[in-house]
Amino acid sequence: MAPTLAGVDEPGAAVHGFLAELRRAGVRVPVGSALLYAEALARLQAEPAALYWAGRATLVHRPEEIAPYDEAFARYWLGRRAGVAAEPAPEESVTLATDDPDAPEAPEPDVADDDDPGPDLALRFSRTEVLRVRDFATLDAGEQAEVNRLIADLRMAGALQRSRRRRPSRRTRGRPDLRRTVRASLRTGGEPVRRLTTVPSDRPRRVVLLADVSGSMEPYSRALVRFAHVAVAARARVEAFTLGTRLTRLTRELTTRDPDQALARAAAAVPDWSGGTRLGEALRRFNDQWGMRGVARGAVVVILSDGWDRGEPDELVEQMARLRRVAHRIVWVNPLKASPGYEPLARGMAAALPFVDEFVEGHSLDSLEELARIIASDDRGTRASR
pLDDT in tens, 196-223: 888 887 778 889 999 999 888 888 888 8
Whether 282 contacts 310, CB under 8 Å: no
Give the Å distances, CA to CA, from 162 to 196, 200, 263.
Answer: 21, 7, 34
Strand partners, 197: 169, 176
CA distance linking residue 212 with residue 336, whole number of Å: 13
- Between the CA of residue 205 and those of 283, 288, 341, what are the distances in Å? 21, 21, 35
235-248 pLDDT, tens digit per residue, is 668 899 999 888 99
DSSP state of 205: P
Query: C-alpha distances in angstroms, 179 versus 96, 199, 219, 368?
Result: 71, 14, 58, 47
pLDDT at 88 over 50: no
The model's pTM is 0.60
What is the C-alpha separation between 235 and 255, in angstroms, rounded?
10
H helix intervals, the chain? 11-24, 31-43, 48-58, 66-73, 127-132, 141-152, 178-185, 218-234, 259-269, 279-286, 313-326, 347-352, 365-376
The pLDDT confidence band at residue 173, using thresholds 50, 70 and 90, is confident
Q: What is the pLDDT of residue 254?
A: 92
- The answer, yes or no, to whether residue 87 has pLDDT greater than 80, is no
3-state helix, strand, coil split of the chain in percent (to 5) is: 45, 15, 40
Taking the C-alpha atoms of residue 251 and residue 24, their distance in angstroms, rounded to an integer, is 43
pLDDT tens track for 280-329: 999 999 999 998 888 999 899 999 998 888 888 899 999 999 999 999 99
pLDDT of residue 272: 86
320 vs 1, 145, 209, 301, 350, CA distance in Å? Answer: 54, 35, 15, 11, 12
- At 359, phi and psi to the nearest 5? -120, 110
Specify whether the CB–CB gap between 116 and 91 falls below 8 A.
yes
pLDDT in tens, 57-72: 888 888 888 888 888 8
pLDDT(183) > 70 = yes
- Comparing CA positions, the residue from 123, 65, 61 lying closest to residue 95 is 123
Q: Which residues contact 270 (CB under 8 A, 6 or more apart)?
A: 213, 242, 244, 248, 250
Q: Can you list the domains of the chain with their CATH numbers?
A: 5-138 (no CATH), 151-157+205-376 (3.40.50.410), 163-203 (no CATH)
- pLDDT the model gives residue 12: 63
According to the model, what pLDDT value does residue 359 have? 93
Look at residue 11 in the predicted model and tell me its pLDDT.
56
What is the spatial distance between Cα 371 and Cα 196, in angstroms, rounded to a whole number? 42
Spatial contact of 225 and 266, defined as CB atoms under 8 Å apart: yes
Provide the pLDDT for residue 250: 93
Residues 6+ apart with CB under 8 A from 204: 158, 159, 160, 161, 235, 236, 237
Q: Are strands 175-176 and 197-204 parallel, antiparallel or unpaired?
A: antiparallel
